[in-house]
Structure 1
Amino acid sequence: MKYITLFIVLFISILPVLSQDDDNPVLWSHEYHKISDTEYELIIKGDIFEGWHVYSQFTADGGSMPSEFTFDKAGTDYELIGKTEESETITEYVEVFDVDETFFKDEVVFTQKIRLLDPNVRQIDVNLWYQVCKEVCIPVEKDFSFSLDGGTVIKSEKEVDARSLAMGKALKLDLKNKTLLTDSVGQALESKSGLWGIFGLGFLGGLIALLTPCVFPMIPLTVSFFTKHSQKKSKGIANAILYGFFIVLIYFALSLPFHIFDSVDSQILNTIATNIWLNIVFFVVFVFFAFSFFGYYELTLPSSWANRMDAASSKVGGGFGIFFMAVTLAIVSFSCTGPILGGLLGSTVLEEGDVAVNLTAGMTGFGVALALPFALFALFPAWLNSLPKSGGWMTTVKVVLGFLELALALKFLSNADLVAHWGLLKREIFLGIWILLFVLLTLYLFGVFRFPHDGPKQKLSITRKGVGVVSAAFSLYLILGLLNISNLKLLSGFPPPDFYSLQETESDCPLGIDCFKDFDKGIAYAKSVNKPVLLDFTGWACVNCRKMEENVWSEPDIYPILKEDYVLISLYIDDRKELPREEQFDFKFDSGRVKAIETVGEKWGTFQTLNFNSASQPFYVLMSPNLEVLNSSIQRTDSDTYRDWLKTGLAKFRELSME
């Protein structure tokens, strides 16, 4: 029986729901002026967020879509006097479309005069369709209603009361030496290295996808099609390479929607990644993927999709036809690539930092690996004879992937448990389930039990036995970690932290270091003991935070500095615990956007963005109790760099204390 999976579609559809309407990058207001008893001037104003732009009604054909107005009941209740006028525009040549585009930056004002045909009309309804663009474009439809009674201005901005304004103002710190906060060159290199690592992770996922029965048999068939059905060999090779390029382009394009949310609100992807119910959805999706790999059912997209793309590729010639062939491959191979892409998406979400950029790097790597053999075998067709035949080894690959999907699924359940403070999946329980999974994988690889889609029993290959030995060794490694015989530094960030344990612990702070989870309380204590502050922006579900704590903070020449010389203030950006009612408020940004601060994480996430212009975790700042910045901010780094950073800040604090 075949199932049509809705889970990827479900996830994509969840994102706009989680992104609130307040995050629209244009803040609109509208008003009218009465000219006479029958004539009115309707005015619509938009404040556009920095870096974004809205297109004019009169931008050139062949480029981006223009803004369009629809005036309800125009011609019956009232008539338009002239065209809708616009404020000052900008015109620039766009090479992609080869046209001059006209658009607005910072602010847009539309003005339309009307004359009433029916003197009893008291309301004018107007619809505006427009595109607001940055790296990508968001199509938006906005309705405005003008009440012609009283001449009042109706604004769509949310008003903020005096109490909220005061609480929002209190979040802003009066930092001294703020210029020191600029990140160092080393961190930029670290970030670049991290992107290449994520690209490599995506590339590895693409290589694994090549070994699945949905993709592997298509390599010789597709390459042969291009080389045999072209009049010239060079033309066939060029078409195969173009086919590979379109595969890369398709997977790259799948990541672009995520940039919309990252551009609208610096915290939105963090909010999505640590959303409790979204992590539960991920958990269910990955379990569902895993059992499809075990052979209990098959995941497919609707066959009509593939049929339409295949028909399009036949009807449309040249490059467009090859593009539709690439789309067809992406659709028909979904039952194997979908779960791997889900794992890639999940791994990227677990990585802190710019999730959208990370996802683009990972998806591009996946596409490159998937496209590479089509180009290479077209260039060197003799290599096709060396390809192994399809067979039972592909089933083994799928089962191994199924166990890995289950292991990753447990991480998402752990994220939800940590963020919500349910206490259901403590460290020992998490490790125990992982041990069970990898023991079962070991037994399967050694032929102890089988799954429904396994073929006739055959002699185990050397490769299968080798993977079984690796799985057994990993199971032993987990057991030794569970018994505290060895540490699990290789897995830092995946299991819950040490202090999230079934056993009673003295502190719920990393490594047992005394810490404060409230900034004001931590600063007050630092003043009383005259010690500098290590401000730690972290998260319950932050993998890189755990890696820093378990691999860097634990170093014998770093741990004493943290424990004895600094006051640690750990602010959890993904903490979904609700603030007391009296501490909840609406925060109004300088742009006019209003954000409701209702949870601990929302408060400290806004605090981080407002004061340090950052939304990544881990993120560390050194300061004195008097808010004097002691060193540049730093993120994930190596032990030597971190130790020197701490010592430099400590020396600066002592120097300030002697003045």
Structure 2
Amino acid sequence: MFFRNYFLLPFLLVLSMAGSAAAQILQPTKLSTALSKPAARVGEELDLIVTARIDDKWHLYATDFDPDLGPTVFTFTFAKSPAYELVGAPKSIGATKHYDDVFKGNVTYFEKTGRITQRIRVLQPGSLTIKAETEFQSCTDVDGRCIPGEESLSFGPIEVTGTAAVPATPAATKGTTGTVTPVSTPAAGVPTASADTGATPVAVSPATPATADTTPAVTAAPAVAEAAVASGATTALEGNSLWGFALLAFLSGLGALLTPCVFPLIPMTVSIFTKGSANRRQGILKALVYGLSIIFIYVVVGLLTTVLLGADGLNLISTHWLPNLIFFAVFVVFGLSFLGLFEITLPHGMVNKIDEQADKGGWAGVFFMALTLVVVSFSCTGPIVASILTMAAQGERIQPVVGMLGFSLAFALPFMLFALFPTWLKSLPSSGGWLNTVKVTLGFVELMLALKFLSMADLAYHWNLLPRDIYLVLWIALSGLLGVYLLGRFKLSHDSDLSHLSVGRLLMAVLAFSFMTYLVPGLFGAPLPLLAGYLPPQSRNDFSLAASSEAPAVSAGTTPDAQCEAPRYAEFLELPHGLQGFFDLEQAKRCAKARNKPIFIDFTGHACVNCRKMEATVWKDPEVLRRLRNDFVVVALYVDDKAPLPRNEWYTSAHDHKEKTTLGKKNADLQLTGFNVNAQPYYVLLDPNAPADLAHVLTPPIAYEPDVAGFVKFLDAGLARYRQQVTTR
């Protein structure tokens, strides 16, 4: 809109371009550096600290999430030096973790301020200054713009005293999803390897996809000892997602009470405390200790999960293919167990020994009674507990503890309440077949959740085993079967005879069939926004209600005639809605000249939310899609793609005098130098015979334009201008 207003005044065209250049260069994130201590002895460790100041309503992506999701992970690039070595991976202090519905995975980010630390170990005496190159990305949810950034940082000087240590081989740091090899930045006054010696800077990211292990031995990242780091851990727990997870765990605990392993034990256990005590006060006190013991046991399980896995282990679980496949298998096994195929039980010897301790009585006996309940009910509660811990492993380190606290609180609550108000026991429904119905229902839910873990691995590694349509078909089948089961149309092995249909079963069946009905339109292209966080993205459509009158969609990796060459990078990039196009501007220019069409340039990014919104809503409109397919040569230029350029295409930018070595950096530099803009989405219509800059556009470029009519007007104006130029040549 900024450009459109100025182009209403043609005589101010040149001045508006010059003025808009400065206005469009955004820098929402400013970085500064510090040291955890200004001096150290040889062999000691200290932290390099980067502090980010982030503009209001913007966020900066942090270091610790899977880079394959889309957003740019904050990374450092170092060169070799014998003066120090890196210890562990970068740490994001106080970052917020959030499941992003667009990218179908957990991302971490900072708002307003952020802190990232990198621990080092100094190896040589002297005055040490460390240089680092950083790459990062800032985005705003206000209008969906994303700004890639890169900056040269300097840390120090650090005064290092003591005797020089033997230079160590740069330690390979085990990342959370693979192995990366961080190497040190050059120190002031210390000879460093140059490009001629083969020392290539390596980007350090804790979430690099796993590759063949060709790196040296692994060293573990130590905990950061600074007070700021400790306080940052607390900040990370303040997000709404943690409260939502605690609520989910609490509801799961209530659900576990309604299983046939647990529900009958409630009145029996409470009666033991009320009748086997000297007085009611003692019975109530023992019941409270019993409930608190249950909570203590489950929280200890959560703590053990955190300690055994650690921060790296938890993040590995959320991103790596192997744990996701394991959890898929575990959920399937638990689901089949709930359906009655088999029972999962703990060894009888363990159960008997714990029960013997409970029989001894006293306060210790109360604790062992609680432990006996946990063990005896394992066949019903085990799958639920494992599900909570599995989901907790996708989040912060504290989530296993929070999950177990929420679950056990709900699980222990009835025992304590019924001990306080024993007359309530009379209102409990009697045990019966309805308990197994609850268990079977949970089994269907477990099988549906299992698909999410298979989908996460499938999307991350591009296996294409579980596309959206197959995913939806399986969910529709499972929810439909659940509805039919609840109506009593078939029985499973542990079900009782159903003489009549209760109102509860009927309402549950209605919910199951309603969910199935909601899913069906998704097979034909409906976005299903309520399930955006669980479903794979829609890249194809195997179902259609009517034969399409349009020509078959041409994929991005093919060309319909011999006029244009096969597009580069089509093996990992694609255009939406079956559009044919390119991912390299020079290729697009050659094709556009051959076809005598203007170029539609889409400056986009994997992490650009509004880019996906434009594609899903505006581009999908038949009028827009027809114009893009028939009247333009489309080129999508990803500004954040990490694909390396061939060595002969590397160049030094005239804008920032830095070497551009990746596809994303090349495209970002083109957008900045040619059009004075560094935010996406950004759409440009260009004559293929003209330079790619603002002075030669066919019509003023636009950014986010959710109005279909406005976008069509933009396309038509550029096309009309191009045809006018062709006529006058």
> TM-score, normalising length from structure 1?
0.53
In the superposition, relative to structure 1, how do residues 355 and 324 fare at CA in structure 2: closer, same or farther (>3 Å)?
Answer: same
8 Å CA contact retained: 1:45, 1:107: no
Partner of residue 373 from structure 1, selected from 398, 409, 414:
414
| 1:237 aligned partner | 284
SS at match of 1:423: coil
Residue type matched to 2:319 in 1? T
Query: Is 1:167 the counterpart of 2:201 in the alignment?
Result: yes
8 Å CA contact retained: 1:258, 1:356: no
Higher relative contact order (CA closer than 8 Å, sequence separation 6+): 1
Residue type matched to 1:327 in 2? L
- Please list, as runs of the form range in 1=range in 2, the aligned pairs for 1:127-206 lying within 5 A after superposition: 158=171, 166-168=200-202, 192-206=239-253
Query: Is 1:335 the counterpart of 2:376 in the alignment?
Result: no
SS at match of 2:538: coil
Residue type matched to 2:171 in 1? K
SS at match of 2:359: helix
**Offset, 1:356:** 2.5
8 Å CA contact retained: 1:532, 1:625: no
| 2:354 aligned partner | 309
8 Å CA contact retained: 2:469, 2:542: yes
In the superposition, relative to structure 1, how do residues 511 and 311 fare at CA in structure 2: closer, same or farther (>3 Å)?
Answer: farther
In the superposition, relative to structure 1, how do residues 210 and 406 fare at CA in structure 2: closer, same or farther (>3 Å)?
Answer: same
Separation (CA, whole Å) in 1 of partners of 2:398 and 2:504: 36
In the superposition, relative to structure 1, how do residues 509 and 461 fare at CA in structure 2: closer, same or farther (>3 Å)?
Answer: farther
In the superposition, relative to structure 1, how do residues 512 and 255 fare at CA in structure 2: closer, same or farther (>3 Å)?
Answer: farther
Query: Is 1:364 the counterpart of 2:405 in the alignment?
Result: yes
In the superposition, relative to structure 1, how do residues 171 and 410 fare at CA in structure 2: closer, same or farther (>3 Å)?
Answer: closer
Separation (CA, whole Å) in 2 of partners of 1:331 and 1:254: 13
Partner of residue 449 from structure 1, selected from 490, 493, 496:
490
Provide Cα deviations, 1:522-549, integer angstroms capped at 9, x if missing partner.
9xx9xxx9x99987669xxxxxx9xx99
8 Å CA contact retained: 1:289, 1:405: yes
8 Å CA contact retained: 1:227, 1:237: yes
SS at match of 2:537: coil
8 Å CA contact retained: 1:309, 1:328: yes
- Please list, as runs of the form range in 1=range in 2, the aligned pairs for 1:607-646 lying within 5 A after superposition: none
Residue type matched to 1:168 in 2? V
Separation (CA, whole Å) in 1 of partners of 2:641 and 2:277: 62
Query: Is 1:321 the counterpart of 2:334 in the alignment?
Result: no
Separation (CA, whole Å) in 2 of partners of 1:511 and 1:249: 51
| 1:85 aligned partner | none
| 2:63 aligned partner | none
Residue type matched to 1:341 in 2? V
Separation (CA, whole Å) in 2 of partners of 1:238 and 1:551: 58
Separation (CA, whole Å) in 1 of partners of 2:381 and 2:241: 24
Separation (CA, whole Å) in 2 of partners of 1:155 and 1:397: 60
| 1:294 aligned partner | 339
Query: Is 1:225 the counterpart of 2:272 in the alignment?
Result: yes
Separation (CA, whole Å) in 2 of partners of 1:511 and 1:195: 35
Partner of residue 253 from structure 1, selected from 290, 300, 305:
300
| 1:498 aligned partner | 538
Query: Is 1:428 the counterpart of 2:482 in the alignment?
Result: no
Structure 2: unaligned runs, 5 residues or longer: 1-41, 49-118, 122-164, 173-180, 184-192, 207-234, 544-552, 557-572, 589-598, 629-633, 648-661, 680-703, 706-729
| 2:434 aligned partner | 393
Provide Cα deviations, 1:562-607, integer angstroms capped at 9, x if missing partner.
x99x9765679xxxxx99999xxxxxxxxxxxxxxxxxxxx9xxx9
Identity fraction in percent: 38
In the superposition, relative to structure 1, how do residues 223 and 425 fare at CA in structure 2: closer, same or farther (>3 Å)?
Answer: same
In the superposition, relative to structure 1, how do residues 414 and 501 fare at CA in structure 2: closer, same or farther (>3 Å)?
Answer: farther
Residue type matched to 2:351 in 1? A
Query: Is 1:276 the counterpart of 2:313 in the alignment?
Result: no
| 1:415 aligned partner | 456
Residue type matched to 2:201 in 1? M
Separation (CA, whole Å) in 2 of partners of 1:501 and 1:222: 55
SS at match of 2:202: helix
Separation (CA, whole Å) in 2 of partners of 1:271 and 1:554: 31
Separation (CA, whole Å) in 1 of partners of 2:367 and 2:611: 47
**Offset, 1:348:** 3.7
Separation (CA, whole Å) in 1 of partners of 2:575 and 2:373: 47
| 1:38 aligned partner | none
Residue type matched to 2:291 in 1? G
In the superposition, relative to structure 1, how do residues 237 and 422 fare at CA in structure 2: closer, same or farther (>3 Å)?
Answer: same
| 2:712 aligned partner | none
Separation (CA, whole Å) in 1 of partners of 2:284 and 2:575: 56
Query: Is 1:489 the counterpart of 2:534 in the alignment?
Result: no
8 Å CA contact retained: 2:324, 2:457: yes
**Offset, 1:224:** 1.3
**Offset, 1:359:** 3.1
Instruction: Compare the two structures and name the one with the higher helix fraction.
Output: 1
Residue type matched to 2:528 in 1? L
Separation (CA, whole Å) in 1 of partners of 2:413 and 2:339: 28
Please say which structure displays the higher CA radius of gyration: 2
**Offset, 1:391:** 0.3
| 2:509 aligned partner | 468
SS at match of 2:344: strand
Residue type matched to 1:230 in 2? S
| 2:499 aligned partner | 458
Separation (CA, whole Å) in 2 of partners of 1:422 and 1:337: 33
Provide Cα deviations, 1:332-381, integer angstroms capped at 9, x if missing partner.
111101111233234444x5xx3333333222211111011111111111
Separation (CA, whole Å) in 2 of partners of 1:463 and 1:299: 28
8 Å CA contact retained: 2:672, 2:678: no
Separation (CA, whole Å) in 2 of partners of 1:233 and 1:387: 21
**Offset, 1:253:** 2.2
Separation (CA, whole Å) in 2 of partners of 1:226 and 1:408: 39
8 Å CA contact retained: 1:492, 1:550: no
Separation (CA, whole Å) in 2 of partners of 1:512 and 1:334: 48
Separation (CA, whole Å) in 2 of partners of 1:194 and 1:500: 31
Residue type matched to 1:376 in 2? L
Separation (CA, whole Å) in 1 of partners of 2:454 and 2:381: 23
8 Å CA contact retained: 1:427, 1:502: no
Residue type matched to 1:427 in 2? R
SS at match of 2:398: helix
Separation (CA, whole Å) in 1 of partners of 2:646 and 2:602: 32
8 Å CA contact retained: 1:438, 1:474: yes
Provide Cα deviations, 1:171-190, integer angstroms capped at 9, x if missing partner.
89xxxxxxxxxxxxxxx899
Query: Is 1:215 the counterpart of 2:262 in the alignment?
Result: yes
SS at match of 1:287: helix
CA RMSD, 1 decimal? 5.2
Provide Cα deviations, 1:427-455, integer angstroms capped at 9, x if missing partner.
11111111111111111111211111111
Residue type matched to 1:495 in 2? L
Separation (CA, whole Å) in 2 of partners of 1:447 and 1:463: 12
**Offset, 1:48:** 9.3
Provide Cα deviations, 1:608-649, integer angstroms capped at 9, x if missing partner.
xxxxxxxxxxxxx9xx959x9999xxxxxxxxxxxxxx99xx
In the superposition, relative to structure 1, how do residues 234 and 532 fare at CA in structure 2: closer, same or farther (>3 Å)?
Answer: farther
Separation (CA, whole Å) in 1 of partners of 2:268 and 2:283: 13
8 Å CA contact retained: 1:533, 1:625: no
SS at match of 1:355: coil
Residue type matched to 1:405 in 2? E
